[in-house]
Chains A and B, each alone.
Chain A
Amino acid sequence: MVTIFIFILMPYICLGIFLLGVGMRFWLWIRTPVPLRIVTTPAPKTRYGMIWRLIGDLLWFPNLFKSDKLLWVAGLLFHLALWIVLLRHLRYFFFPVPKWVEEIQTLGLYTGYIIPLPLVFLLVRRLIIEQVLYISILGDYFALFLLLIITLTGILLQLFFRTYVIDVKALILALIHFQPQIPKVHWLFTVHFISVMALLIYFPLGKLMHAGGLLLSPTRYQRANFREPSVNPWDYPVSYNAENLSTPEKYAQTLSGTGGGGKE
């Protein structure tokens, strides 16, 4: 009964929550207007320049490099390794396996071994730097622990409790073709699988949405085109009240010499 729930129902539910949640968050961001120019300078003036800056921000975190070198190394290492390992996992999703996925298998294998290092660094850093400890919330540790469990079980499954890869692939492919079945796998794999699903659920709920938020961040995607007109979609007219002494009407009177214009 439990295994049916874990391997047959949960994957669909979690993926559904993940996709819906992420889509919802993006939609909520996109539909909110950006009324003012708030780009951080120096900023590129052209659209191409802006795209390059965004790509740079996504790939090698130049702002983080400016602020904290150690954190930059750890962050970059983690994110790069995560991408490579994720791409390596594509071999479970395709039949036959595409050539380029085959080619990154070895690289992905060794990258997988180092993934816990930056994670442990990030965790230790949260605990020993008092400023970071002060701002850390339970959600920060939760995400780190979840990722640590996922990566450590992954490594253990690779090194010591080797799972029969064909079983895993059969499980994933069956899920993809909507003919789910219960696989015979080591309990460590079940832990790995459950934590990934937990991460999928947590992703749209918490701070992990930073992944896509960067692309919509007004200070990063805007350009330094301040001389082009910009329109505030919700702009409204403003007016003065009876208490104000200096109003446009009174100033017009001053200029035409008919009095007014505040206290003389």
Chain B
Amino acid sequence: MRVPVPIPDIKIRASEHLRCHPSKAKDMVKIDLPKERLENWKEVMLKKMAEVLDKYRSVKLFLDICVKCGACADKCQFFLGTGDPKNMPVARADLLRKVYKRYFTLGGKVWGRVNEAGELNEAVLQEWFTYFYQCSECRRCSIFCPYGIDTAEITMAAREIMAAAGVATKYVTEVVAKVYDAGNNLGIWPAAWRYNCAFLEEDLKETEGVDIKFPVDEVGAEVLLIPPSADNFVNTNTMIGYAKMFHAAGISWTTSTYCNEGGNFGLFLNYTNLKKTNNRILEAARQLRVKKIYWGE
């Protein structure tokens, strides 16, 4: 039987203290972002916001057409879990919407009170940093919105705007920086990847007595496998499963030390890093001259 989730009462600022660690300069340098928050962050963010609004119809439209019906309010797991009203998708989008109205719409400039427009200032930026990183971009709200308003698009826009001024979280920037150094989110270096694969080969021979290969960087293989990097490191049974499956099917396959990660943390940062991380898959496939890409994750 399905038990409905009780809708929590509003608890103002209930999850305000749950904040991500700020990014570190050493990671920001690697992903082409400012080392730390810029002196003129406000101008940079407003400029970036204008750019984002010109590039994504989704962001502009979703900020414009929300009628505040509240249909999405009790659909977000972050709101159901914390009860913090700013975790309702509509209220989360409002954090960006207020600034958008103040600087980019006639309605907000002419009639700021009725359309609830708001300045971009330190307090607002702190709220952005808190609540736009309390969204997992699962898009559940877009399924329930009568206009298909997708808060993930708004969250992504806000994170892109913040990143342009050097405001980002350590977790995301660290992971993306690792991808550009090691090829995967966990930071498994090529040598370690090769060693792990050789170890699994030996392990399989010892325990099950079968000779199954874990090819790495084999040019000309038929399939490039992009596993989650954790499969080589902690969930090794999954990795063994891939190898057995390819072995049984008789397909030549390979993993790549250039790209052995299907998860893309660029999604949580900005378009440039999203594209850069995704391009690694294509680049690896091109250089290995494979015919197909099998993509886990």
Contact = CB atoms under 8 A, between A and B. Distances in A.
Given A63-B145, A63-B146, A262-B189, A142 B181 contact: no
Interface stretch (B111-119, B227-235, B241-249): B111-119
Contact of A131 (B10, B58, B219, B258): B10
Interface stretch (A31-39, A87-95, A164-172): A31-39
Nearest to B179: A246
B181 A262 contact: yes
Contacts of A247: 180
Contacts of B160: none
A138 B98 CA distance: 13
A219 B58 contact: yes
Interface in B75-102: 75, 85, 88, 90-91, 94
A29 B61 contact: yes
B42 interface: no
A245 to B, nearest CB: 4
B55 interface: yes
Interface in B179-193: 179-183, 189-191
Instruction: Sort A-B residue pairs by CB-CB distance and give the 10 closest, nearest first.
Output: A213-B65, A219-B148, A205-B107, A67-B144, A137-B116, A132-B70, A32-B57, A67-B71, A244-B180, A251-B258
A61 interface: yes
A71 B182 CA distance: 51
B35 to A, nearest CB: 12
A132 B67 CA distance: 11
Most chain B CB inside 10 Å of its own CB: which residue of A140, A216, A247, A255: A255
Q: How would you classify the secondary structure of chain A's contact residues: helix, strand, loop or mixed? A: helix
A218 B287 CA distance: 35
A178 interface: no
Interface string A141-161: 010000000000000000000
B276 interface: yes
Contacts of A219: 58, 142, 148-150
Interface string A236-263: 0010110111111001101100000111
Contacts of B284: 251
Contact of A214 (B65, B70, B257): B65
Contacts of A192: none
Nearest to A28: B60
B211 interface: no
B194 to A, nearest CB: 9
A245 B189 CA distance: 10
Interface residues of B, number: 72
Interface of A: 25, 28-29, 32-35, 38, 40, 57, 61, 63-64, 66-68, 71, 75, 125, 129-132, 134-140, 142, 205-207, 209-210, 213-214, 216-220, 234-235, 238, 240-241, 243-248, 251-252, 254-255, 261-264
B29 A71 contact: no
Contact of B287 (A57, A255, A263): A255
Given A142-B114, A244-B30, A131 B74 contact: yes
B68 A67 contact: no
B116 to A, nearest CB: 4
B153 A38 contact: yes
B30 A129 contact: no
B73 interface: yes
A238 B114 contact: no
Nearest to B27: A243
A255 B219 contact: yes
Contacts of B110: 205
Most chain A CB inside 10 Å of its own CB: which residue of B71, B149, B275, B287: B71
A213 B55 CA distance: 17
Contacts of A64: 69, 71, 144, 146
Nearest to A136: B68
Nearest to A207: B67
A131 B88 contact: yes
A207 B116 CA distance: 11
Given A38-B58, A140-B68, A210 B144 contact: no
B199 interface: no
A210 B71 CA distance: 15
Given A63-B143, A238-B276, A135 B55 contact: no
Nearest to B152: A38
A67 B148 contact: no
Nearest to A140: B68
Contact of A29 (B60, B67, B144, B276): B60
B64 A240 contact: no
B180 A210 contact: no
A35 B55 contact: yes
B204 interface: no
